Amino acid sequence: MQVKILSYYRLHKIPILLLLASLLFYYTFAYHLVRTDFPKLITLTAALFFLCYKLIQFEKWNLKLLFTAGVLFRLVFLFVEPMLSQDFHRFIWDGELVLQGLNPYLQTPDTIVELGKISIDNAAHLYASMGEISAKNFSNYPPLNQFIFALAAFFSGKSMLGGILTMRIIIILADIGILYFGRKLLAKLNLSSHLLFWYFLNPLVIIELTGNLHFEGVMLFFFIWSMYLLAQKKYLLAAPILALSIATKLVPLIFLPLFIRHLGLKKTIPFYTIIGVTVLALLIPFYSSEFINNYTTTIGLWFSNFEFNASIYNIIKKVAEINGSKDWETIKAFGKISPYITIIMVLLFSFIKNNKTITSLFTSMLWVLTIYYFISTTVHPWYIIFLILLSVFTKFRFAIIWSAAVFLSYWAYANPDFKEHLGILVIEYIAIFGVIIYEILKLKRQNLLYSKKETSKLG
């Protein structure tokens, strides 16, 4: 046994050292980083991305080692509170309400505290720590998320760590599920299995999902499972699974029109029907006359009130400022037109692009979501994770660069008033747009060379 271990170490010495170095950096990130320390944050993430790249480069055919590395990196965060996000306090708060049979969509935390009629474990700490914006708004987390929050609250008892641990285990299992179905889908598409480790080992994925307890990973587990079933022509089974993805995070809703050309109208109708019925079934426990108004109002705030790490919107805002417009006037006006831009863009990709194959469908999804983020007023770092997974199944890799560059947006947390630095955002988006333009031109050249070769063969 000892001989085997020594032999394995000699064969994989450098990757093992890279793995150990990554563990050290993740440990430092989890236990010795304050989010206001931007120089330390950006240095750690730069080092982790470099080590991720080298690990995949050295061991892309050693999937067991890469899998082990990904799991170990996640386990580092198991018993620590999130270091970059306070959202988990609201998750546990909502979960406590659901456990008591109360609807988290009907009263804001501010109202609940003001009335003082509800007993919630650690209520004072949760309320004080969730942040002013969260406390004054209704919950915007879809129904399946609420059930997970309730599960976390159930296992937390009077200790928040119990709730954190429950959510973290669910998120880690979801990532492993993404790896399982993602590899199957890659094999179905005759693509290399190691590509999925650009997701599984990506520092943004590990830090923002396992570390900061964002549920994009759970959404993506159901999403990739449904896409695998779709690739197997099992669209009726894929529909309820996709509905679970939507019921975790609403993002996949934007892709629904893309399935019309992929499935054809005859199959699309039952596909949509099953999705609708499944989502409605999950909503029934929370439905009331006030629910729709409260929920749509809260979602609408993301278009007309909040702004963070925006690209095109920041340019428009700067031009508006020069012309004497106030910030609140600009975001209100932009918030009114951006949904229509999104709808037009989705319809163009739905009816002009050929989405017949799974690969072309993923490519359309990638561009739809990318353009949506470019016109959004709020692009939190964890939003990019969906793009990372989509890119694995396409010829584009700009999302991986974006996943590294997006950490620049955390400059805002180094300031007491969370003020963004436009110069830093310019660096982030110049890098992203530069890579996108390079990849588009590269793909055009490749297609041109391919068509010339085919023409010469025919000649």
- The closest of 428, 423, 383, 424 to 404, measured between CA atoms, is 428
The pLDDT value recorded for residue 137 is 87
Instruction: Quickly state the pLDDT bin for 149 (edges 50, 70, 90).
Output: very high
Secondary structure (DSSP) of 311-328: SHHHHHHHHHHHTT--HH
Instruction: Quickly state the pLDDT bin for 222 (edges 50, 70, 90).
Output: very high
CA R_g for the chain? 23
Q: What are the distances in angstroms from CA 36 to CA 26, 40, 85, 413, 416?
A: 17, 9, 12, 5, 9
- Mean pLDDT over residues 225-233, rounded? 97
pTM (2 decimals)?
A: 0.94
Instruction: Give the residue carrying structure tokens 């490749």.
Output: 446
Higher pLDDT residue, 137 or 298? 137
| Per-domain residue ranges of the chain | 1-76
Instruction: Quickly state the pLDDT bin for 290 (edges 50, 70, 90).
Output: confident
> Which of 108-117, 293-302, 366-375 has the highest mean predicted lDDT (pLDDT)?
366-375
**How many CB atoms sit inside 10 A of residue 140's CB?**
20
Question: CA quadruple 226, 56, 54, 68: dihedral positive or negative?
Answer: positive
Helix, coil or strand: residue 15: helix
Q: Say if CB 397 and CB 439 are below 8 A apart.
A: yes
Own/partner long-range contacts of 407-410 (Cβ < 8 Å, ≥24 apart):
407/41, 407/42, 407/45, 407/204, 407/381, 408/42, 409/308, 409/309, 409/379, 409/381, 410/35, 410/38, 410/41, 410/42, 410/84, 410/381
Segment 298-336, tens digit of pLDDT: 777 666 677 899 999 999 988 888 887 777 778 888 888
